[in-house]
Structure 1
Amino acid sequence: MATIGQSVDLTPSADALVRARQRAALLPDLLVEAKRVVTTVIAGWHGRRRRGVGENFWQFRPFVDGGEVSRIDWRRSARDDNVYLRDQEWEAAQTVWIWADPSPSMLYKSEIATVSKESRAMVLVLALADLLSRSGERIGYPGVLDPISARNAAERIATALVPGRPAGFPPDDRMKRFSEVVLVSDFLDPVDEILERIDRIARRGIRGHLIAIADPAEETFPYAGRTEFRDPETGAKLTAGRAEGLREEYLQLFQARRAVIGEHCRRLGWSFVAHRTDRLASEALVGVHGRLSGVPQPMARQTGGIGAA
């Protein structure tokens, strides 16, 4: 993205094959970075609690279509107008699916960012795989690698990703009930499509965690003067004579879509973390770890982005 007299080029310049090769070449470095991030948070890692079949109570969560009626806690539901399920704590290794969005928009990196959204997303999923595998969890990557229980899960996922990743939203046909999924994306698709996709996963009894990645320029809109914007998915162009005049409306729309997605996740019992690429990757990793662990979180915790639910 640029300022007066320049263009905001969000369209990848290379074709799909070249981009895939570039991504593959970066994986070793991203794996090293993921390992480095893990070392910064490992001291506070004490395993995680999760719902499932067990004797100990874990949490109440909102009832959604497809939920088990037999697990409704009517006493808790009587306190307000919502219906809640009673979750027990899982007493065995859990399956966690992790996924990083391969969309062209994830390749974007502004002049005020240190890394692209895609690089940060890959570091987060590889770091999370490494961290969870240390606790004995089974880690999988939709459409790439079925769940495995191994201390070198991050390395095996990186190796499996070298040939490339399936385009589009992750396939959920292999995801089983009571598993969890962590989706890392900029979530810039139409909001209705995003909500429909996560609803489909939630109806299968899967708990989700969203990490919304944003470039700092996408959250601050630092443009002024004549600026050309290009859509990374379609190549469509928009030329603004005075880009600064769009800032207020753009920021309102950006924050509103984040709020809608975050609130929808909350109603499903899912978690939502916003993260900016100019912040430390460890911040987002700690944030999603807390949600995987079932640690109560504030409604608007800052993680370098708009907030988290």
Structure 2
Amino acid sequence: MLLLSLLFIAVIGFLAQTTGLCMVRGVKEATGGKPIFLISILLSGAFVWLAVGAAYLLGQPVRLDSYYPTLLSAVGGLIFGLGAAFNGGCGVSTISRFARGKIMMFATMLGWLVSWLLFADLLSGHMVKAYVISPVLHMGILIILSALLLVVAFKSEAKIRKLWLSMLGIGVMAGLVFIYEPHWTPSSLLKSMGLSVWNGHDASWPSAERFYLFLCLVLGMVVAAVMTKSFQFEFSRLSRLFKHFLAGLLMGVGAVMASGGNDSQLLVALPALSAAGMVTTLCMVIGIFIGLKLQNGRPI
């Protein structure tokens, strides 16, 4: 199962790179009157039900946890969005740009790590209340949504159809990886690292398999960058590296408060129909919008 999961997550990386998956780009295009890219990102997890159904048939049922939103869900999403706007890319696109040779994105990821190490135990210990959705209702909603998206995809022009199918493919692959490792996302990996350091428990340090999954995600992105001839090393001045580090700190703090960055929200929380994930994602979009306006010096 590990080998299959490594393959699936490499496909996620490949598709994320080739589609240019980025919430910041999505918000930019939406404010310019082209919302389809942002909508496709937000609904990318719709086909997770396929993986959940497959797991059930294989005798390995999985549960997608849903939580009520808190103030930290909203504030965390807003802070993450602001940081992403200043960074010029969300969590997923930061990794994909690093995989294309944009060295400054390493500073952003370093900021994430520092935030998780400093604040994981302080901010992620807040009480969250879970709720249960009937499996039939849950799967029914996702199946109906998937059917509608397929109709939209196949009625669209070829370029838009390819975008929809690629985004939905990311959701399917994410669901399949979730069967093997529910905490597969990069932000979940950082969260586990931070909590392990805070609590001083070597036993809670992420397993080697989770690091393998992250490396294969990056590998898939690198392969896509090479195949599309977009790989090129790009170095930056120290001042720009510091800017990306600060943006990474903001994104990291927001992710800690919201219990995950946009990777976890899009591909785990939203498919779970988690109200907390919905609020966080909405606030991320708002935060990105505000951050972009502030950078452009325009009134909000």
Higher strand proportion, which one?
A: 1
- TM bin, normalised by shorter chain, reads under 0.3
- For normalisation by structure 2, the TM-score amounts to 0.25
Higher helix proportion, which one?
A: 2
